Chain A
Amino acid sequence: MNKETKFTERTFKSVGTRPVRPDGVDKVTGRARYGADYDMPGQLIGLMLRSPHAHATIKKIDTSAAEQLPGVKAVVTSKDLPDLTDGDTDLKCILENSMARKKAFYDGHAVAAVAAVDMPTAKAALKLINVEYKIHKHVTDVDKAADPKAPVLHKDCFTKGVEPAPVKPSNIAASSEFGHGDVGKGFDDADFVVERNFRTEQTHQGYIEPHACVASVSPDGSGELWVCTQGHFVFRQQCAQLLGMDMAKLRVTSSEIGGGFGGKTHLWLEPVALALSRKANLPVKLTMTREDVFRASGPTSATSIDIKIGIKNDGTITAGEATLRYTSGPWKGSWAMLGAMTAFACYDLENVKTTGLEILVNRPKTTAYRAPSAPMAAFAVESVIDELAGKIGRDPVAVRIQNAAKEGTQSSYGPVYGPIGIGPTLEAAAKHPHMSAPLGENQGRGMACGFWFNFGGQSCTHINIDIDGTVTLTVGTIDVGGARASLSLVVAEELGINYEQVKTVIGDTGNLGYNEMTDGSRGTFASSMSAIMSARKAIEELKQRAAMMWDVSVDEVSWEDGHARATGNSNLPPLSIAEIAAGAGKTGGPIAGHTELNADGAGVSFATHICDVEVDPETGLTRVIRYTVIQDAGKAVHPTYVEGQFQGGATQGIGWALNEEYIYGDDGRLQNPGFLDYRIPVCSDLPMIDTQILEIPNPNHPYGIRGVGETSIVPPLAAIANAVSNASGVRMTHVPMSPPRILAAIEEAETTTA
């Protein structure tokens, strides 16, 4: 059998076509079931009580009155979720976040929960819970939190990763460094050096479906969890650990997911729902309101980035250095580390050094958001490169092409690149008609590049050849937007049958071995690799069965176009998959193929974006009037869905660049926990988003597939900043570039030139 996971050149029949997705009809008819669309018999309604304070010690919680209210079946506090994390600090943070223990660390932090027969009773019960708080000084701003004088969130937080270890606790939870060469020497060699501070505000993934789950735990220790998640296997593992359940006894089913973008990789409600159900001995449905989603589910980091880049008159970038401060909420994350790794990843630099600092603040726990941490770092780097190109009077695309990383380049974060797409996307941008289209008054064009690693990891898939010759592929990675179509295409390709004959379903945690999340753009990459291997195993089995039916040796059977062929005997007509499957009962039972693997070599991904904006000089209002995404997909399995990923990511980046931000009041409370004031782009804000897919095969995947889901959110911040700079003459260093910020910058520029 061909176990080779490396890329081999081939011509495709199914892969690269654009069929309708298998789950489509259910989604246009209202039949698809998302997190909140499922009910269990006898289920209770759960509700959370959340801290109104940004930083407070919980002195006392009195739940007795709530417990006595008729119709209330369970009230839980942190006491009902004892610490079973056993030294696992990541899990401990998840536990502390799902229900505040000694302290509430942010506005919206859960402190108690109730389960009652209906919503009005649950609401009434919440009002009867009495919490006594001791309020502390809080800090939400990234730079203020890093200041030694800031209120410290955790008395036992000593910066990790610095020598010697600090003796004073602070909000700088960790420091990490990357790079090579000698940046001091590099800056000495430069003709121009630009040094600036950039800030980005906190944004939310903004998925339209709020978190929702239904949990049921029985007294015998078994349980079920229905949940909208990006990874039900991970949820099961963590929930079982947190609740002290046997993993095998907790069955987690993933609902259809109404968007995640990283935000549904993390547990929020689920341990509490299980605890409520366990206490009430009845199923409990627990959902978030939109306000809860904003206040208490993971946004991305707010950042403050110091950056310094040097360039020679001939265009060579001589050195790049950055200190990146990323908020991680009240607990340590690895967000600054990811920023430090990705910042200069597009370039081939002799001297580069980055330092990432994880900053603790009284904001909700930071969670992954599409190419987490990369957009902010790219905003800083790509803005400065544009500025430097201006200083030496060169075209910004040409300067980037000159310095782009290529095969063999040692990346700024360590590894040496294989074949990569940064150069080709830049070349494509240079040639793109968008680049030379005329611009009107108050309009400007900008471009920028972006990078994302892409993940691989553990995947398990199963293929069943049904007796009519149709094929079920069961995967354990949830489908965030068309993956079932792509995976069906891959299996159809490998088996040589029609797309319509394959049905891909997502198994629950009882059906398959462990699968990692659908994150890091890994869903299609890793599951398709596993599905191809499963299909190959099924083909081996099909050949065996054909050999039995023909009574020939399996060595004399080949597999082509969905048929077994007897290579030694041309008189035997080929056997179709349906014919072989129909006889399976007589040739050894069901025919299947199963694979578990750890997908390596996800293949890094690069993109270049071009953007035109128009800025109203009197109000600072900025509109994106044209936008083009150019990205390497390795191999676009279903090009329409690849385009969709490019467009969706770019649009999220546009929202981030222009208007989206968490706004905290002086009291530490979130001021805009709703879609009216947390302004994600609406349809009329945008032009069509043009796309160009490049296909530079990933050598580590049989079909050359790379992850495509995330990189497209990386360039927009800088692309738009560069366009704004060209349209209005002001260099924006603070994202979002909201009208008040742009207008203030324009006015400042006018007063300094006047």
Chain B
Amino acid sequence: MSVLVNSTINGDNVSFSCDADETLMDALRNRVGLKGVKEGCGTGDCGACSIRLDGALVCSCLVLGAEAEGRTVETVEGMSNGAELHVLQTKFLEHAALQCGICTPGFLIAAQTLLEKNPSPTETEIRYALAGNLCRCTGYDKIVRAVQDAAVVMKKGRKK
């Protein structure tokens, strides 16, 4: 059965219809057209489909599209402020924290969530906060450094 869902996606009111058993990941990708939400596994293991649902970091492959009714959804497509990239996006580029880049949208959302909760995380805290996001290319080194660097810049920005 099809359901009609109204939600706020990246700040805009969006309504889409999807099958009742369709995941939010599939709905975002195929009904709303947000292909930045990536599928690496479909079973919660890789984090490539990470989004925020009412502010909470979740795997959109483990959420039904129908559950988004009345809720807010944030994806990587909504991360930059117009043409201005989010500090994390810039730092990921500067540090080459991506090789193939398929994991990047998920890491960015997870890192954003971390830094909002914990503006100065330790390396260990970063590593554990990002443990739900698999990256097969980088060995994580440059990802961790990009997040560390972004944390410093974001804190300076806040002090201003």
Contacts and interface: CB of A to CB of B under 8 A. Distances in A.
Given A208-B48, A651-B140, A676-B43, A37 B93 contact: no
A33 to B, nearest CB: 7
A680 B96 contact: no
Contact of B134 (A30, A208, A480): A208
Contacts of B75: 30
Interface string B20-40: 000000000100001111111
A418 interface: no
Contacts of A20: 93-94
A259 B139 CA distance: 13
A120 B35 CA distance: 21
A689 B35 contact: no
A212 to B, nearest CB: 9
Interface in A12-38: 18, 20-21, 23-25, 27-34, 36-37
A500 interface: no
A652 interface: yes
Interface in B105-160: 105, 108, 123-124, 126-128, 130-145
Contact of B138 (A25, A257, A290, A647): A647
Contacts of B42: 289-290
Contacts of B123: 688
Given A20-B93, A261-B136, A684-B128, A648 B99 contact: yes
Contact of B79 (A29, A290, A682): A29
B15 to A, nearest CB: 20
B76 A29 contact: yes
Contacts of A25: 85, 89, 93
A290 B102 contact: no
Contact of B136 (A33, A37, A676, A680): A680
B98 A34 contact: no
A210 B40 CA distance: 6
A82 to B, nearest CB: 34
Contacts of A210: 39-40
A41 B141 CA distance: 41
A641 interface: yes
A567 to B, nearest CB: 41
Contacts of A652: 136
Contacts of A681: 139-140
B46 interface: yes
Given A259-B137, A674-B43, A683-B140, A207 B100 contact: yes
Contacts of A686: 127, 139-141
B38 A683 contact: no
Contacts of A680: 134, 136
B19 interface: yes
B141 A27 contact: no
Contacts of B60: none
Contacts of B131: 682-684
B139 A647 contact: yes
Contacts of A29: 36, 76-77, 79-80, 85, 89
Most chain A Cβ neighbours within 10 Å, of B29, B38, B103, B131: B38
A262 interface: no
Most chain B Cβ neighbours within 10 Å, of A34, A205, A208: A208
Given A29-B77, A674-B45, A683-B130, A34 B141 contact: no
B37 to A, nearest CB: 7
B36 A208 contact: no
Contacts of A682: 131-132, 134
Interface string A204-241: 01111110000000000000000000000000000000
Given A21-B93, A683-B131, A684-B127, A27 B101 contact: yes
Contact of B100 (A36, A481, A675): A481
Given A20-B93, A648-B138, A651-B139, A27 B104 contact: yes
B138 A688 contact: no
Given A29-B89, A647-B142, A686-B140, A290 B43 contact: yes
A647 B138 CA distance: 6
Given A28-B85, A208-B134, A686-B127, A36 B99 contact: no
Contacts of B80: 29
A116 to B, nearest CB: 14
A20 B131 CA distance: 26
Contacts of B92: 28
B56 interface: no
A647 B127 CA distance: 16
A634 interface: no
Contacts of A587: none
Interface in A37-54: 37
B20 to A, nearest CB: 11
A472 interface: no
Contacts of A32: 101
Contacts of B126: 683
A54 B7 CA distance: 46
Contacts of A738: none
A71 interface: no
Given A29-B89, A482-B96, A644 B108 contact: no
A650 B136 CA distance: 11
A169 interface: no
A641 B38 contact: no
Contact of A290 (B35, B41, B100, B127): B41
A27 B40 CA distance: 16
B100 A257 contact: yes
A513 B66 CA distance: 49
B41 to A, nearest CB: 4
A94 B75 CA distance: 39
Given A648-B99, A683-B133, A686-B139, A30 B34 contact: yes
Nearest to A204: B136
A206 B136 CA distance: 7
A208 B102 contact: yes
Most chain B Cβ neighbours within 10 Å, of A23, A37, A682: A682
A27 B104 CA distance: 7
Nearest to A28: B89
B104 A28 contact: yes
Contacts of A661: none
A258 interface: yes
B45 A258 contact: no
Interface of B: 19, 29, 34-43, 45-46, 48, 75-77, 79-80, 85, 89, 92-96, 98-105, 108, 123-124, 126-128, 130-145
16 contacts: A20-B93, A28-B76, A28-B101, A28-B104, A28-B105, A29-B76, A30-B34, A207-B102, A259-B136, A480-B137, A482-B99, A643-B141, A647-B138, A675-B41, A680-B134, A683-B126
Closest 7 CB pairs of A and B: A30-B36, A481-B99, A258-B102, A651-B139, A27-B101, A647-B139, A675-B45
Given A651-B140, A686-B140, 13 more contacts: A23-B101, A25-B93, A259-B136, A260-B100, A480-B99, A480-B137, A640-B142, A644-B99, A648-B139, A675-B134, A683-B126, A683-B140, A686-B139
